[in-house]
Amino acid sequence: MFTLLVIIYLAFISLGLPDSLLGSAWPVIQTDLSVPLSYAGIIAMIIAGGTVISSLFSARVIKKYGTGLVTLVSVTMTALALLGFGLANSFLILVLWAIPLGLGAGSVDAALNNFVALHYQAKHMNWLHCFWGIGATTGPVIMSFWLVRNNNWQLGYLSIAGLQAALVIVLLISLPLWQKALNKLNTPQSNNNQEEAVQTLSLSQVFKIPNSKIILAGFFAYCGLELTTGLWASSYAVNSFAISSEVAAAWVSIYYLGITVGRFLAGFLAIRFSNKQLIKLGLTSIFFGILLLLLPLSSSKIPVALSLIGLGCAPIYPAMLHQTPRLFGKENSQAMMGVQMAFAYIGSTFMPPFFGLIAEYIGIFTLPIFLLILTIIMVISTRKTAVNN
């Protein structure tokens, strides 16, 4: 089990590596390929669409092939897609490779999150998502290393593809460990293999499960809040308080640092506190961060507020994921996990641009109010996560 857990940690780093590459490299890609700046949105939407689709079908795929094989195939698809990005010489090729990049991400995310929710303690869920943050932070660092060397974004993608290929080899060698781990976890009293007992539910069947709709709204709201804050906080500081773009960007990095460090700390807190308590703690921190933004204070309130929001975001998503089998039963957890991941991706895809429309037609000053509404949705939703660890 320990060796498998190490491999899962490595897989979470690999999940984060590609997530922030496009934004880091796009200014150079856009110039090299002579396409409009807005075309990055097309690629991002295709990746998000593929992720949502693979998340929705993840329960069926995992039931048929098992978590280990799905993880291996998904990471292989991601590695090949990143290789395609690195060799691309036109926008159309990027569009085509965006399809497997999105499809590969959704299934492995749902598979690993459900496996950990079923078989490991809450502390590991927090630390695993902290490791995702390490991957998401490392990706731009690797890309910037190559960008300063003649703007070579292709080698940036190829480097990440190489790291993913190395993980593919590790996953291939370790494939028997998944079944061995399940054999240890499934005692004679359990009567059958948990992966074989997985229920493959349609979307309408998922909606009929008690409390499913309100929980899905919580995942939508959480990821909408996290990504909207990350995308628009800098513009909020620049336009509402006349802060320089360099300082505003540094403040946003504090926000993401808060999420990453917060998840590391939440892993230790999870040893003592229940998922329900961690979610309440996170929501309280977010609320005070938003309240600070709403108060008529100087611009110095912004980095403090973003720190509070980032630290508050840290435990919520892992704790909600870890609650899935406890709320909906182990037999339904994989189906619910896939749909939860899909709604999370939909929230992260559509809420930031939706607020962009609000900012354009009403004003960027509405950001704290928008975040407060999403927080209220989360409060209502997570009251249903009343089952303790």
Q: What is the DSSP string of 124-159?
A: HHHHHHHHHHHHHHHHHHHHHHHHTTTT-HHHHHHH
Is there a contact between 235 and 308 (Cβ–Cβ < 8 Å)? Answer: no
| Residue reference for tokens 């962009």 | 356
- Residue 141 is predicted with a pLDDT of 84
As to burial, measured by CB atoms within 10 angstroms (0-12 exposed, 13-18 middle, 19+ buried), residue 169 is: exposed
- What token pair was written down for 353? 């641009």
Superfamily of domain 2-178 in the CATH hierarchy: MFS general substrate transporter like domains (1.20.1250.20)
Q: What is the pTM of this model?
A: 0.86
Task: Supply the Cα-derived Rg of the chain in whole angstroms.
Answer: 20
Q: Residues 229-275: pLDDT tens digits? A: 988 888 899 889 988 877 887 888 889 889 989 999 999 999 999 99
**Bigger pLDDT: 344 vs 199:** 344
Distances (CA, A) of 371 to 162, 214, 237: 38, 18, 15
Average pLDDT over residues 262-289: 95
Q: Please enumerate in sequence order all residues whose Cβ is within 8 A of that of 157, keeping only pairs 6 or more positions apart, or say none.
A: 21, 25, 82, 83, 85, 86, 143
Q: Residues 1-26: pLDDT tens digits? A: 688 999 999 999 888 888 878 877 88
Q: Residues 329-366: pLDDT tens digits? A: 888 998 999 999 999 999 988 998 899 899 989 999 99
Average pLDDT over residues 376-381: 95
Q: Where in the chain is the domain with CATH 1.20.1250.20?
A: 2-178, 203-382
Average pLDDT over residues 62-88: 94
Average pLDDT over residues 159-172: 95
Instruction: Report the share of the chain in percent with pLDDT over 70.
Output: 95
Q: Which CATH architecture has domain 203-382?
A: Up-down Bundle (1.20)
Q: Residues 104-151: pLDDT tens digits? A: 988 888 889 999 998 888 899 999 999 988 888 788 888 888 988 888
